[in-house]
């Protein structure tokens, strides 16, 4: 009896550690079972690393904020999707193309830089995953009879419940303008006015959302296009200096103003669904016009040294600007981690950015 007591005494600290671990798990259980990410380079976490394309962020200074260095994200650190995963208590969804064998039950990232809603968008840079490709891959992920995920669930009903409680986020459409409509080599501008092109994109996107619903998604967040006319790649090419090119911003507005009726219609017609609009445009524009309001100092210039006088991607291995946390733009197209944090925090906590905001959405 004495010997057993001594053994238990030696093990007592271990039991404390185990109890602490499980109590911590209980307190920090995720708000949603999984986060699934779709879209373009604003959300890409490394899929383009594994594709034959010129649109890559597989070198420093991209990823400079990460201890492990380069990840394939087109920024210095976390994206909006990464911050949302943090807020949900989930690990960052790994890029789908990096998965070998067992899929991640806490979510996956299908986003691909340079691609968009239309299949031809981004094709001038090589292969990328357009919206149809991404939904195709999600279907492979979630076909119950063949999915690696099914081992986590007792039956198809439990799997369907898991999908219905998961969060799906999208940032797509930016490249359909930057890498398509505004590019001279594409003839689409001859066939579509700005308004009819915006309607084409929204109609195509609605079909993809309907397909996603059939595959099990119920809680979907679609972020607006940002103020494209404020991108350094646009302002510097148009010789507008530090001013936004408002006619380009208007193109994005034609798309954004068509999103609410489309998303509301899907919510009302697809039973049990909630399609949320992320009002990223006004938030980003306000941060660009009033940076100090968001603890930023520079909301006009790229932080990294880029090709072509600040109008392109980062030049490999050059040291970025001092005070990266004070910049809005990382390169000529993408946001810094600090700017991403502002948008993600707004969507998670503020009904003026996302309504319902994510903390409300997870309770539906």
pLDDT digits (tens, 9 = 90+) for 157-210: 999 999 999 999 999 999 999 999 999 888 899 999 999 999 999 999 999 999
Report which of residues 186 and 232 the model is more confident about: 232
What is the C-alpha separation between 226 and 128, in angstroms, rounded?
Answer: 21
Contact 321, 239 (CB under 8 A): no
pLDDT for residue 34: 98
State yes or no: pLDDT of 155 exceeds 70.
Answer: yes
> Mind giving me the DSSP string for 45-62?
SSGGGGSSBS----STTT
Task: Write the pLDDT tens digit of every residue in 314-331.
Answer: 999 999 999 999 999 999
Residue 143 CB neighbours (<10 A):
12
Tokens of 188: 């689409």
pLDDT for residue 319: 96
Question: How would you label 34-53 residue by residue, b for 16+ Cβ within 10 Å and e otherwise?
Answer: bbbbbbbbbbbbbbbbebeb
Task: Write the pLDDT tens digit of every residue in 291-316.
Answer: 999 999 999 999 999 999 999 999 99
Tokens of 156: 């198809």
Phi and psi, residue 146, nearest 5°: -115, -10
What is the C-alpha separation between 98 and 292, in angstroms, rounded?
Answer: 38
Distances (CA, A) of 1 to 9, 16, 252, 351: 12, 22, 77, 62
State yes or no: pLDDT of 108 exceeds 60.
Answer: yes
Which residues are part of the catalytic machinery?
41, 331, 334
State yes or no: pLDDT of 241 exceeds 80.
Answer: no
The three-state secondary structure class of 168 is strand
What is the C-alpha separation between 48 and 268, in angstroms, rounded?
Answer: 36
pLDDT for residue 294: 96
């Amino acid at each position: 009896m004495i010997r057993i007591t001594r053994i238990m005494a030696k093990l007592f600290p271990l039991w404390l550690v185990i109890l602490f671990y499980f109590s911590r798990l209980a307190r920090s259980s995720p708000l949603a079972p999984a986060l699934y990410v779709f879209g373009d380079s604003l959300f890409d976490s490394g899929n383009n690393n594994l594709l034959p394309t010129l649109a890559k962020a597989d070198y420093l200074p991209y990823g400079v904020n990460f201890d492990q260095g380069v990840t394939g994200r087109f920024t210095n650190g976390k994206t909006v999707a990464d911050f949302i995963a943090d807020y949900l208590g989930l690990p960052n969804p790994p890029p789908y193309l990096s998965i070998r064998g067992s899929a991640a039950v806490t979510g996956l990232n299908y986003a691909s830089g340079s691609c968009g809603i239309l299949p031809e968008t981004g094709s001038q840079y090589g292969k990328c995953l357009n919206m149809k490709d991404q939904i195709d891959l999600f279907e492979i992920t979630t076909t119950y009879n063949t999915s690696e995920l099914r081992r986590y669930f007792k039956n198809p009903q439990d799997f369907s419940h898991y999908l219905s409680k998961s969060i799906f986020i999208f940032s797509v459409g930016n490249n359909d303008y930057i890498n398509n409509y505004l590019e001279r080599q594409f003839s689409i501008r001859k066939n579509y006015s700005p308004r009819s092109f915006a309607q084409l994109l929204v109609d195509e996107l609605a079909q993809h959302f309907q397909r996603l619903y059939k595959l099990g998604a119920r809680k979907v967040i679609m972020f607006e296009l940002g103020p494209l006319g404020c991108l350094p790649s646009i302002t510097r090419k148009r010789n507008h200096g530090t001013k936004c090119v408002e006619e380009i911003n208007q193109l994005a507005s034609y798309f954004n103003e068509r999103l609410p009726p489309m998303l509301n219609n899907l919510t009302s017609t697809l039973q049990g669904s909630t399609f949320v609009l992320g009002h990223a445009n006004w938030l980003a524009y306000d941060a660009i016009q009033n940076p100090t309001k968001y603890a930023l100092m520079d909301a006009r210039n790229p932080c990294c040294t880029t090709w072509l006088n600040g109008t392109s991607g980062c030049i490999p291995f050059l040291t970025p600007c001092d005070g990266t946390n004070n910049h809005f733009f990382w390169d000529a197209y993408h946001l810094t981690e600090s700017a991403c944090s502002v948008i993600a925090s707004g969507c998670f906590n503020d009904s003026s950015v996302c309504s319902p905001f994510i903390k409300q959405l997870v309770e539906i």
